[in-house]
Structure 1
Amino acid sequence: MDNAHLKKTWQKGIKALEQQDFARAIASLKKVEKVMPEDPDVHFALADALFGQGKIDLAIRHCRIGIDTAPEAIVGWIRMGRLLLMTGKGRQALETFNRAREVSPEHPHVVAGMAESKAMVGDLEGAEAAFTDALVLAPGEPDLIVSLARVQDARGNMEAAEETLRAACAESPGQLVLWQSLGRALEAWDRVEDASEVCRQAQAHHPRSLELKAQRAGLLYDLRDLETAQELYTELANAYPGDMRIQNDLAQVLASLGRDAESHDIFRELTKREPLFGQPWLNIARARRYEIPEDRDLQKIRSVLKRRQLQPSQAAYLHFALGKALDDCGVYEDAFAHYRQGNALRRADLQFDSSAVSDHISRIIDAFTPDLMSLFEGKGNSSTRPLMIVGMPRSGTTLLEQVLCAHPEVETAGELRSLAQAARAYTRQRNDPWPECIENALPEDLSVLSEVYLGALHTRSENAAKVVDKMPQNFLHLGFASLLFPKAVFVHCVRDPLDTCLSNFFQVFPPGFDFAYDLSEIGHYYRSYERLMSHWQTLLGARLVTVRYEELVSDPEGVLKPLLQSLGVAWNDACLSHQDSVDRVDTLSLYQVRKPLNTGSTERWRNYEKHLAPLRTALTAE
């Protein structure tokens, strides 16, 4: 190959690489390699092309060849280090970047690579120092700022992480990634209101960013500002008519607002445009009742499940949709088979440890003792406005919330994260683990935290005598809540354990419910929950009122009158026809709670009794 031909072949390879035509790039570069096997640039270019094809091990091999030929080539060290990071080889990456630092000690990408490597091997202190050094070399680099904040967060220093991101947003408001990272961090810390406000501020600097608008719309949905969320999703849907997820989110908001016909039309259109997108099928199944297993929807879903292009994550939604539809039709064997497949697909991507949950419950019980409760008796905030409803997911908490909110003196704040947020805020102040740090609490701590919680209630309801916080997982924090509000009465929803656990197994949950996709794990989680609730009942006595789902739906007046009396609220007949006043619901029960009280969901477990051995075993385990 003469020099002119060789140069032309090299240029073809580089052009193909720039166009991301990796196969053509490799073909050309391999020809050059045969003639120039020791040229480092050829090997580095081949590494880029092979990486583009996902062949990372081969890419690393060519980086090594290039470095062996030209050990002073810093670009090769950096490329190899980054490839090693992508494969999770943190120690090898750290060695590579250490070697690179010998070549170029002040190269910001080298120092940043060292920081990422240290973080990967668990040296978070070293990683924070290295990211700080990298920012000295590359001031204002957004990716480095975000990485520094993540390491600070991982070290438990959320205040420092927040300050890092806020300062960067103030200094460089034109960097969208900084605003988005701050918003996501605040959301991860359960500060959804703050996250939404950050997105609102960011929109002033990035008014055309549809990605930012989508982020804020999701936060507003969590905050139950459904009208504003619907406006934003409508704008997004018009701007991105081909984005299936945005269209699905818009339909979900409309369903939460009770605009069922509009939401159904969108879901239905999505199934026609992209049958392999599983979420709309499940949303349709949730919204209607099926009569026969030969229904056209069921036939279409079965057909889609046979398609090889179907992604496992979307197949899970289709299996849950079929499970629900076949349950409606009374074809319980086939229904359970599909539920089992859907749960297996969801569970495959999750990590859950039942023993870790049990250990955490034991620590809570050990921390919140009768002596501790006596020590703080009479302290805290005297407000009786908070009305917390707790229980297992699918135990009737949403139904009870809607029934109580039919009363003119009761309003709902939805599922607030404020109690867990207060616990974390206190933990950070004490720099000790939760829940053990509670023994060092001072009355003024309780006063400050209770005011923050009441402020969150006030933003959702200004005048109601009682404001419902229907966060089922607050059962983990009832002891803490009772210290903050020593005069408040708490409500515990209980449903038949088999019905509760099976209903969990039949749902696709948002993130955070990793226990819910295996019958045995659900049973073990239920036992831990039951053990903690027994402890709270002993500590709180009459301040913890139990409402049994089966009694609520069969004798609502007999349950609600004494409940309202214990809450200090007069009886009102509107509670017996809550379906007439349901405004908005943004939980998995959004379709059920718009119906009158009925016993249709009691003893469903009997239809699946032969499949419940793993659940029964877990529920009776010591």
Structure 2
Amino acid sequence: MNEEWARLDVAAKRSIAQGRYAEAAVLLRQATAIRPDHADSWFNLGYVLRQMRAYPEALAAYGEALNHDVSGPEAVHVNRAAMLSEYMERNGEAEAELRAALVKNPKFLPAWLNLGGLMEDIGRADDAAHAYGEALRVAPGSGRARGRLAAIRVHNGEAEPAIRDLETRLRNYADSPDDVAELLFALGNALDAVGRYGQAFGAIAEANRVNDAMRPASRRYNRQAQERLVDELIAAFPERPRDVASEEGSQLIFICGMFRSGSTVIEQLLGRHPLVQISGELDLIPSMVHEQLMPYPASIDDLGADKLSDLRGQYLQAIRTNFPAATWLTDKRPDNFLHIGLIKMLFPAARIVHTKREPLDNILSIFFLNFAETIDYSDRLEDALHYVGQYRRLMAHWERIFGADIVTVEYDRLVHAPEAEIAAAFRDLGLPPLDPGAAGDTAAPVIRTPSNWKARSAIHSKSSGRWKNYAAELEPIRAALAAMERA
């Protein structure tokens, strides 16, 4: 028995190392059947199921690991919390997991940071500030904890003390270049909040230089590659795909466009409708592309009916599992604009909401946010401008072939007249009108965005035309954008 378990364990670890998670899950299920008391096998099964986005099953496997006294239980609780909050909207249970982690190990920094983030997501500023304060007791040089604490202090009207604290920390020490970048981004945004725009831009520019220096050359923005991708997407979808299974996915709403173009605000407004379940930024479509459709989009030509049906089923199963009560569901992944052709091939009746913002405001907002390695064009204004040009080229193509299936919501109109704009969006999406007399949900909405506290403020037009505060710094970008629009 032990020899068979050992063989399965070795094979499973090999499959995990090669990214073959479904195969590893089969092997680990067999291993846990032979040795149900082996905590590490349950932990590994939880890990691979999480990679497969089988979150309820992953939770159960991680639970078995805890039941059998896995080493490092605090990390297991943090993993469970991440799934519960980010993918299943079970925030109370996520909080309980994080607090359980801290009972196991009160100095476990990831648990304090994640608890602070969760408290921000659900609008509990005081609890978030406490968690970040505890994180700083554990790691005084943590840029993440100090930067998020500064954002809360700015939200509470304490910008100047937050600025002084950040400046003092930058003069002394931080734990790593990542922490330096976090502190500089927090400082720049705090300075922006009090109108010290020249200093704010200097801090943000330095933060982006730190990030750029840390980014490996192979992971920097490649303009030629982006142009080639857009060319290939246009060629792969020259016209509207033939409708298949036209009713499946008819109540999916894909919200996409540039990052920082107002998608969070739009999703929150859509979420006012009692039929709409908001889900935040799902990675289902990008993961499908990278794990099953490479080379993309060349693989589109070879997609047969069976493969399309399989992909469609995978997506629908994931959302039914994680959001079983949803009628209409949002998928707010901004860079899904790259995949509108694929989305409409899978779900011809799905709704597409295109979030659109004044490009200079959009570029500035990207530059002011710490995307670290997640977005490769954010470190340099010129790269962000180039990306905007390619995004506009592709969106013009999608709008030509899909027409009214794409509902465009202009951020600048939205912040000036939110009620009228969202009512129009409800109508264009085919949602029944919102009953103005219906009782709304008074609970604080869950908002997962780095600009969390700005998104919680009453909708206003302050962010519209923000670029004018930085007109001198943005003059080369403005001139290049004007030339792009004349071309």
Instruction: Quickly name the TM-score band, shorter chain normalised.
Output: 0.7 to 0.9
- For the pair 1:365 / 2:234, whether they are aligned, the reply is yes
Task: Please point out which of 279, 282, 290 is paired with 1:416.
Answer: 282
Distance 2:439 2:179 in 1: 38
8 A contact 1:380–1:450 mirrored in 2 = no
1:214 to 61, 66, 78: 78
Change in 2 beyond 3 A, CA 1:152/1:275: closer
Report the equivalent of 1:434.
296
Corresponding residue for 1:590? 452
Structure 2 match to 1:263? 128
CA RMSD of aligned residues (A): 3.4
- Paired residue type of 2:415: V
Q: 1:449 to 1:327 in 2, by over 3 A?
A: same
Aligned residue in 2 for 1:487: 349
Tell whether 2:405 aligns with 1:543.
Answer: yes
**What is the match of residue 66 of structure 2?**
203
SS in 1 for 2:378: helix
Gaps of 5+ in 2: none
- In the alignment, is residue 455 of structure 1 matched against residue 317 of structure 2? yes
Give yes or no for contact 1:363–1:435 (8 Å, CA) kept in 2. Answer: yes
Please give the alpha-carbon distance, in whole angstroms, between the structure 2 residues aligned to 1:609 and 1:442.
51
Which of 303, 314, 333 is 1:471 aligned to? Answer: 333
CA contact (8 A) 2:46 2:58 kept: yes
Offset at residue 349 of structure 1 (A):
2.3
Secondary structure at the aligned position of 1:388 is classed as: strand
* Mapping for residues 49-448 of structure 1, pairs under 5 Å: 140=7, 148-149=14-15, 152-153=18-19, 159-160=22-23, 163=26, 180=43, 183-184=46-47, 195-196=58-59, 198-206=61-69, 209-223=73-87, 224-271=89-136, 274-289=139-154, 295-308=160-173, 310-350=175-215, 351-354=219-222, 355-370=224-239, 373-374=240-241, 376-424=242-290, 426-427=292-293, 433-448=295-310
Distance in 2 (CA, whole Å) between partners of 1:575 and 1:366 is 49
Residue 433 of structure 1 and its aligned partner are, at CA, apart by 2.3
Contact 2:159 2:190 (8 Å CA) reproduced: no
Query: Structure 1 CA distance, aligned partners of 2:111 and 2:474?
Result: 38
CA distance in 1, matches of 2:12, 2:377: 31
What amino acid maps onto 1:324 in structure 2? N
How far apart in 1 are the matches of 2:186 and 2:365?
14
Contact 1:414 1:471 in 2 (8 A): yes
For the residues of structure 1 that align with 2:387 and 2:438, how far apart are their CA atoms? 33
The 1:542–1:510 alpha-carbon spacing in structure 2 relative to 1, beyond 3 Å, is same
Q: 1:304 to 1:491 in 2, by over 3 A?
A: same
User: Could you say which residue in structure 2 is the equivalent of 1:133?
Assistant: none
> Matched residue of 1:366: which SS?
helix
Deviation, 1:151, is 5.5
2:149 and 2:211 map into 1 onto residues whose CA distance is 20
The aligned length equals 476
Asked if the contact 2:236/2:300 (under 8 Å) is kept, the reply is yes
CA distance in structure 1 between the aligned counterparts of 2:322 and 2:16, rounded to whole angstroms: 31
The alpha-carbon distance between structure 1 residues 518 and 263, as it changes in their structure 2 partners (threshold 3 A), is same
Query: Which amino acid in the other structure matches residue 455 of structure 2?
Result: V
Calculate the TM-score normalised by the size of structure 2: 0.86
Does structure 1 conserve the Cα–Cα contact (< 8 Å) formed by 2:123 and 2:445? Answer: yes
CA offset at residue 335 of structure 1? 0.8
| 1:552-598 deviation per Cα after TM superposition (whole angstroms, max 9, x unaligned) | 11112332222211211222266999895542122224222322221
Structure 1: how far apart are the matches of 2:286 and 2:123?
30
Mapped contact 2:121–2:446 kept (Cα < 8 A): yes
- 1:551: how far off? 0.4
Higher-Rg member (1/2): 1
- Secondary structure class of the residue paired with 1:289: helix
Residue of structure 2 aligned with 1:496, choices 339, 345, 358: 358
1:352–1:515 CA contact under 8 A, matched in 2:
yes
Q: Which has the higher contact order (CA 8 A, sep 6+)?
A: 2
**8 Å contact 1:386–1:468 — kept in the other structure?**
yes
Alignment partners' CA distance in 1, 2:50 and 2:387: 25
Q: What stretches of structure 1 of length at least 5 have no aligned partner?
A: 1-135
Deviations 1:228-284 (A, max 9, x none): 221111111233222333212212111212221211223245446643211122112
Q: Name the CA distance, whole Å, in 1 between partners of 2:78 and 2:156.
A: 37
Distance between the aligned counterparts of 1:594 and 1:309, measured in 2? Answer: 30
Deviation of residue 505 (structure 1)? 1.3
Percent of pairs identical after alignment?
Answer: 28
- 1:544-563 alignment to 2 at 5 Å? 544-563=406-425
Amino acid at match of 1:608: Y
Aligned partner of 1:611 in structure 2 is: 473
Q: For residue 388 of structure 1, report the CA deviation from its aligned partner.
A: 1.0
Tell me how far apart the structure 2 counterparts of residues 270 and 403 of structure 1 sit (CA, whole Å).
Answer: 33
Give the TM-score normalised by structure 1.
Answer: 0.68
Q: How many Å apart are 1:166 and its aligned residue?
A: 5.6
The structural deviation recorded for 1:445 is 3.3
Q: What is the deviation of 1:185? A: 5.3
